[in-house]
Amino acid sequence: MGFKMGIVGLPNVGKSTLFNALTKTASAQAANFPFCTIEPNVGEVAVPDARLDKLAEIAKSKQIIPTRMTFVDIAGLVKGASKGEGLGNQFLANIRETDAIAHVLRCFEDGDVTHVDGRVDPVADAEVIETELMLADLESIEKRRANLVRKLKGNDKEAQQQDRLLAAAQAMLEDGKPARLVEVDAEDAKAWKMLQLLTTKPVLYVCNVGESESVEGNAHSAKVAEMAAAQGNAHVIISAQIEEEISQLDPEEAQMFLEEMGLSEAGLDRLIRAGYDLLHLETYFTVGPKEARAWTIRQGTAAPQAAGVIHGDFEKGFIRAETIAYDDFVAMGGEQGAKEAGKMRAEGKSYVVKDGDVLHFLFNT
């Protein structure tokens, strides 16, 4: 499993430029791993992970298959989207299907690129988007609570739980705050997620700066960083213009270009990593002569559920997971060396998979 991130932003903030760079990068990667463009506004890119290349080198794997991340370019948002303005209804439907939201914010000055409100103010732009999502959630909650009245009269426990959670979300939204700030107990977590409220999605602010500001950012991105910290959200600084240029270069040329710009890595790599951190994701590996492959799971995933990411039968018939930590696999020169050094462990159903684990699952068919 990878994850799906929706890219949103007001017109002329660089959202399409960034998405185009992503899809070009993905097309360039197609020779190395299976790539698909699901729709014109959906693209998948490999998650960069140097550990996978190292494992493949040690195991002499014929194929390298990274885990992937899906980006969805969500139709341009305008003020009034919650009421169906512009492509509002489609915007809201698309955003419900994502795991997280990347708000692309204009943090560059350019007289040739007009801003929809005639000014450059990324914090205000973020507030426009957040307000539209909050208004849409409020409208949705009011309708849902009205539809629950009959079930509540019949003392339906599921309806009572749903109404209680909706009421908590409504109170938070009416206080001018997103629903993600509601504190939810573990017993309510599943029901809360099922509500699919827009403002419960984790947010990553993408500060689109000019080429010369791609390393340190600028005054605009500093304000976004301050806002993100206050909200408990994340932010990254990217120059969409640079990303688009890099996407058209081969890997060696791209690396030289980045070094000339004073950058250690592409902004898209930082974006993907920030998204992983935001959603508390991690990676485990399966390695052999045929292929070295990365798999994405949520932090805290037990071994049977991690196996289920590969195939449902692995989870159903799970017996044990032969486990080698990444550092041990590398230090001992591979699986055989790790086994001989006593670094391979047999882990059962209660084992919580750790980031970087190299796993081999045994299961009943």
Where is the binding site, in residues?
12-17
**Contact in structure between 258 and 232 (CB atoms under 8 Å):** no
CA distance 225 to 230: 9
Burial tier of 364 (Cβ tally within 10 Å: 0-12, 13-18, 19+):
exposed
Binding site, annotated residues for ATP: 12-17
Question: Around Cβ 244, how many Cβ atoms within 10 Å?
Answer: 18
CB atoms inside a 10 Å sphere around CB 327:
11
Q: Whose CA is closest to 95, among 139, 45, 134? A: 134
Rounded Cα distance, 268 and 239, in Å: 10
Question: Whose CA is closest to 159, among 183, 182, 191, 197?
Answer: 191
CA distances from 113 to 16, 77, 103 (A): 13, 17, 19
| The pairing of beta strand 281-287 with beta strand 291-298 | antiparallel
Q: Which residue has the tokens 């490999």?
A: 46
Q: Which residues of 333-353 are buried (b: 16+ CB within 10 A; e: fewer)?
A: ebbebbeeeebbeebeeebeb
Longest dimension (CA), the chain: 69
Is there a contact between 326 and 344 (Cβ–Cβ < 8 Å)? no
Distance CA 74, CA 81 (A): 12
CA distance 290 to 283: 19
